[in-house]
Structure 1
């Protein structure tokens, strides 16, 4: 009833474009009734456990006004579990998907209601077979793997004089490797659009490290990997050294040749790839200088190339377990990454229930209203630009998932029934699984009439997609945004607005860029960039980030404040065990969506600096934590205000 009252109060000022959203909210409120506000015992238990997790990521020895990222996320890299599916970023947690998949694996009731129970039984069979297999150490010498290698090009290090160089084609063997998702000499680039064609790019050379950098540590890591595989075949140490030296020599020449080659397109015959992969016999050519360059080197080192490609295929089949305790995580990851359409469908059905839709739509609408108010107040937009911006805010449609994506997923799921789980050979099952995974990736290319532009695997569900269709902005909310660290129904609303609300506001602000893009230099000419902002190298990128992020931040915070006033929310509402007020929880919720393991992501600390730059220019943040001038987050009393 309270939701109905809020909808009625707000609907007085609705535009015709926005009215359907409120009617949808109303229908959800009638369906849900009073249970919308109920917090079950299970929710209460979750809230306490999640609060402990939040607290464990924080570095409470650092004051929030000194360095808010360190305060909110400073202990994350020490707490992150050492699991097979690494979690380097809280906003894109691979092992959250693993946990979801493990739960959904037993939801036969849900699968039956969606008519995918047969596919789920296949997933269960694979998972059990994987758990029972001997994967540590990796059985590289399994005869099934060796027979496959011999059938596609051979393994001269193992076969010796029986290997015939005159019958070897590096290009053909690489084509066969693509059928298993292995990284050969080149890789296929599948078309994103129905009318485009498959193209090719050369792969980097190496296993655990990219040899392009030509560094000693990269040689050591790759040597260790090759030595492990070759020892499985009981080769002498002298023979192993000879094989590795040959591969290294091939790599060195390839890197040197890469520096010499002309960048002009050179015609290269790729007919065999299309025969091997797509069963198409017509003549094909690719104007690719990189393929031409690799060909010149590969024909000088056929034996080394064959050995390298054979070991690359083994590397693809290798679980690379550090310990047998990681096997369960590995099996879960393999299952959900290869059968992602099935688990995506199950997860969507589980995630987008009426309770969640109702509250998320409410958050979206409040953020939209706040952003509209901000646009009405700015003085740096011309009148006509302001009208266009307001129209974009009001006309943006929000979808839960993509109808086109859902249609494609439904077509891909039956592919899983093709997986043969061989009871007495995990090696064969493993090969079959990788073929299935590649076939699903190639589905749109094999079925051009059903092609959907820019389709996404399940791993991409932690985000928002935006597009323009017939001049109408569309935002698609993915199911992962209804999971931690973005959302949970039991969280205080302040945290929901800080995490999910900010993400929505950020994407809405992005739609406003087009009419005002040329104003950025004028808008920022008097800005005094702080130290955090200067870590973002490009001036234009700094401007864009602050423009978009500050709009998302202000609109989300104003929506949070408005929600508290409208609902008479308890001003003391907190997370258990965290002595933080609602305004402070808002900023903590925002920060913890981007916690990184900086050791693993040393190459990209941009999210950290974006966050700190945004907050040092936020007067709302300074008031929430009462930051004094001269502190790390407020070095001077001047901020760069945009909205």
Structure 2
């Protein structure tokens, strides 16, 4: 409540004190309100224990900085991870809601209007189950639709399951019984290839369907099916509801037998390349892959496809042979209904927020483009560029001074300087003309949500399937934070990252800017100089520019990190399996040091030092400017995980922050850590 009250005070203060008014009092008042709100923000996450010195920063700095995060943002509420950086995305969603609610103007492009129509229809109709069912029965207008409900007399011999699932794939993009995708060729990246095999099952991996340990999960899943069916068919008997739900789970259990026993196997390890004709010969008419592709593409395809996983289709033959057509029909239309139901607003979620999330899901680039035109923040861009110049300069000086990076030969350091000089920030932008052209064919209406949804699903599927005949293009991915791109030697900065007052504002201490923006930029910069980045030169071409001596030295020095982090095989009694662990370690430890030294350099070069030191502190917080730097960095990684997590695919944030700080002597000095404290490592690992 304190945090919310102060943030409200921030908004009121900004309204009362307009920085453009030219009045010193107004400017000072606004600055004081912003600083007070930011201090309350930091203090709220630290929690009462940290504030009252019950948590020692040298013992567990993550808990010191983030001790109150799980109470303020509990993961158990939504059964998904919560994190500080995710809050930036939530801010983007809230701003997008206001933007999409605004009336259509003459300056809006046709793409903007489509987004607003989709959003408006979602707000008004997303929970209209009757409309969803009517649209479904219209789209799936085949004999026997839903046997007991669609037609009283249902003749099983008329039911063609392959034709039905092909129709639903084309019209709604749903993978039922068969999964179909267009992917890059594993060996030839200049062409696409069809991938056919297992669809994504709702419970996921094989063990969730077949292992006794997950029987409780299966029971809950079956009850969820019953509840959904009851919502759409309130007049049906409980016996029918239970029977259909049982059929659905049973079929998925049988399908799961064709999934890999080892879920850690890569796609390449579970895939084989075959022609459609070979697959037809292997699986006969029970799973006629050639006919399925003809129904999808309206043409005969003479191409080799990827079959994955290898045992799935042969298992599907057994499922089709042993399952009655009535059960297959029930399952097929249930999967279509469940797809539409997934768009229904969940209980406890604000309709506007949910509808923005759906808009973002289906039109990510178009929404970003609209956001950029409404919230273009040049001040944030300038601050980011300035911070980047400082980070880059510190690293450049390290590369020039042989004593700092003595493990790297002079020749390799010169090449590293060349790569660093060409490394630039690239602010994400969109070609609005291309986005409008890409959306051609959509005609959305503000009062027809489920018709809109089906139209969007069909539109997306059309673009996906058409990729088979197109030459691959560089995928313009949507990132949440700055991302280093190996093939261009650029750090791409997302539009949504450039939101005022989240990380930085001119009213805040610069310690926060270097501890957040500086740290994130330094992390991405170092990805160009790690074990993967060294294989790509300054132009983004694959070219290992390190010599043997530097590579050997790198391996020896990273061995220290490997031994230090080797103990982290579990966290909260759950296994940790981070395939990118060394990449993460090098970036975390190096960025923390570089960002801190960039901040110290800024302090040293700033005039009016006494006044600056006072400005570098915050009200409510009895911490020095250097202590604020480390608080800002740690709080970026405040996180809470739900109990449902089985495996940590990335090293948990608590372990990342604490271990990196234990290697940082400036942190030890700043918080006066004693010999023997947990975060004062006896042997400190360092690389950059």
Per-residue CA deviation, residues 240-268 of structure 1 (Å, 9 max, x unaligned), is 33223323332232233446999755543
Q: Distance in 2 between matches of 1:462 and 1:149?
A: 41
User: In the alignment, which residue of structure 1 is the partner of 2:358?
Assistant: 334
The structural deviation recorded for 1:202 is: 1.8
- Paired residue for 1:534, among 558, 568, 581? 568
* Structure 1 Cα separation of the partners of residues 507 and 173 of structure 2: 41
Shift of residue 527, structure 1, vs aligned partner: 6.3
Aligned to 2:250: 249
CA distance in 2, matches of 1:60, 1:75: 8
| TM-score of the aligned structures, taking structure 1 as reference length | 0.80
1:523 is displaced (CA, Å) by 1.4
Q: Deviations over 1:37-83 (max 9, x none)?
A: x9686666455434433332223412322212112223222212899
CA distance in structure 2 between the partners assigned to 1:178 and 1:577 by the alignment: 59
| 8 Å contact kept, 2:203–2:209 | no
Counterpart Cα distance in 1 of 2:559 and 2:447:
70
Show CA shifts across 1:324-372 (max 9, x none).
Answer: 6632322222223223222211233455543222221111111011112
1:218-617, aligned counterparts within 5 Å?
218-231=217-230, 232-233=232-233, 234-258=235-259, 265=273, 267-268=278-279, 270-271=289-290, 274-275=293-294, 277-284=296-303, 286-288=305-307, 289-290=310-311, 292-300=313-321, 301=323, 302-318=325-341, 319-323=343-347, 326-350=350-374, 353-375=377-399, 376=401, 377-401=404-428, 406-407=430-431, 410-416=433-439, 418-422=441-445, 425-436=448-459, 438=461, 442=464, 445=467, 448=470, 452-457=473-478, 460-469=479-488, 473-483=489-499, 486-513=503-530, 514=534, 515=546, 516-525=550-559, 529-530=563-564, 534-535=568-569, 543-568=582-607, 570-572=612-614, 573-599=616-642, 602=645, 603-604=647-648, 606-608=651-653, 609-617=655-663
Question: Partners of 2:30 and 2:172 in 1: how far apart?
Answer: 43
Shift of the 631–338 alpha-carbon distance from structure 1 to 2, 3 Å rule, reads same
* Distance in 2 separating the partners of 1:243 and 1:97: 41
Deviates more, 1:426-435 or 1:369-378: 426-435
| Residues 1:390 and 1:540: Cα distance change in structure 2 (over 3 Å) | farther
The reply on whether 1:196 has 2:197 as its aligned counterpart is no
Contact in 1 for aligned 2:255/2:316 (Cα 8 Å): no
Shift of 1:618: 0.9
Aligned partners of 1:180 and 1:431 also within 8 Å: yes
1:528-547 Cα offsets, whole Å, 9 max, x none, are 95578634868996544332
Secondary structure of 2:83's aligned partner: coil
SS in 1 for 2:623: coil
Give the 5 Å matches for 1:48-197: 48-61=36-49, 62-80=55-73, 88-93=82-87, 94-105=89-100, 116-133=108-125, 135=127, 138-139=129-130, 142-151=133-142, 154-156=145-147, 158-159=149-150, 161-162=153-154, 164=156, 166-170=158-162, 172-173=164-165, 176-177=168-169, 179-191=171-183, 195-197=191-193
Aligned-pair Cα RMSD in Å: 3.9
Q: Does structure 1 retain, via aligned residues, the 8 Å contact 2:192–2:467?
A: no
TM-score (normalizing by structure 2): 0.75
Cα 1:488–1:465, aligned 2, differ >3 Å: closer, same or farther? Answer: farther
Shift of 1:295: 3.1
- 8 Å contact kept, 1:184–1:312: yes
Secondary structure of the residue aligned to 1:491 is coil
The answer to whether the Cα contact below 8 Å between 2:66 and 2:638 also exists between their aligned partners in 1 is yes
TM-superposed deviation, 1:488: 4.3
List gaps (5 residues or longer) in structure 1. Answer: 1-31
Q: Deviations over 1:94-152 (max 9, x none)?
A: 4233113123325679x76xx5444333333333332222617x448732222323449
Q: Distance in 1 between matches of 2:68 and 2:144?
A: 49
Change in 2 beyond 3 A, CA 1:511/1:260: closer
Cα-to-partner distance string for 1:514-570 (whole Å, 9 max, x where unaligned): 234443442145669557863486899654433232221211111111112222461
Shift of 1:170: 4.0
Structure 2: where are the runs of 5+ without partners?
A: 1-19, 50-54, 263-269, 281-288, 535-545, 571-575
